[in-house]
Amino acid sequence: MTIGVRDISRNINILQNYDYINIEDKKTKEYKGLLISSKYADLIKDFLIKKIESEKQKELDEIMQFAGIASGDTENMSIQEIKAQKGEL
């Protein structure tokens, strides 16, 4: 179900009949967000925490890939030696 922001403020009881509700600005038809039933809140929260941690770890891994180069750990090494060392890690 899709409702407007004003509809929520006028009648909060609408939320009790649904597991989730899409919210949009009725005037501009812009999607504003999603309201989730309290029975699914912990499940969604856990999912989002794992998703955010995974994205942060991926970004950190990409940064750390170049950390050895910046700290001088790969000084005087050929590209083959660097690839071999990277493969060992």
pLDDT in tens, the chain (89 residues): 888 888 888 888 877 888 899 999 888 989 999 989 888 999 999 999 999 999 999 988 877 776 655 556 666 677 777 777 766 65
Phi, psi dihedral angles at 19 (to 5 degrees)? -80, -35
- 43 and 27 housed in the same domain: no
Q: Based on the domain organization, do 50 and 84 belong to the same domain?
A: yes
Query: Both tokens of residue 32?
Result: 């504003």
| 63 and 22 share one domain | no
Q: Are residues 84 and 50 in the same domain?
A: yes
- Residue whose structure tokens are 């005037």: 27
Buried b (16+ CB within 10 A) or exposed e, 60-72: eeeeeeeebeeee
Q: Under a CB-based contact definition with an 8 Å cutoff, are residues 67 and 46 in contact?
A: no
Residue type, 54: S
